[in-house]
Amino acid sequence: MTKEQGRLNLSTMQFQRLMNIVHLEGVLFGLHKAKEANKDKQEYHKYDILIFKEELKLAELTGDLTPDLLLKEMAQCSD
């Protein structure tokens, strides 16, 4: 989308939404790494609930849309 139409001009609200999505993706990446680091330990499964909660937050922000559809929706909401 950005290559075809240039830079995205998001509203403040949509930009905050995008930054929250980026943050949650980073949190999920870290949780998955921590879970794998504890693969052979008792703590391995304690990360499942944390991951599930963060995935719910992410789904709420993205509406489970694909990245290209999400960017289009965010651009439309910014107009």
Say whether pLDDT at 6 is over 90.
no
Per the domain annotation, does 31 fall within a domain?
Answer: yes
Structure tokens at 52: 């599930």
Residue 35: band (very low, low, confident or very high) from pLDDT cuts 50, 70, 90: very high
Say whether pLDDT at 9 is over 90.
no
pLDDT digits (tens, 9 = 90+) for 39-62: 889 888 889 999 999 999 999 999
Per the domain annotation, does 50 fall within a domain?
Answer: yes
Structural domain boundaries, residue 67:
12-72
Domain count, the chain: 1
C-beta separation of 1 from 67 below 8 A? no
Per the domain annotation, does 78 fall within a domain?
Answer: no
Per the domain annotation, does 1 fall within a domain?
Answer: no
Per the domain annotation, does 37 fall within a domain?
Answer: yes
**Dihedral over Cα of 17, 6, 29, 60: its sign:** positive
* Cα–Cα separations (whole angstroms), residue 18 to 34, 36, 44, 46, 62: 24, 27, 30, 28, 9
Look up tokens 């290559």; give the residue: 3
Q: What's the predicted TM-score (pTM) here?
A: 0.84
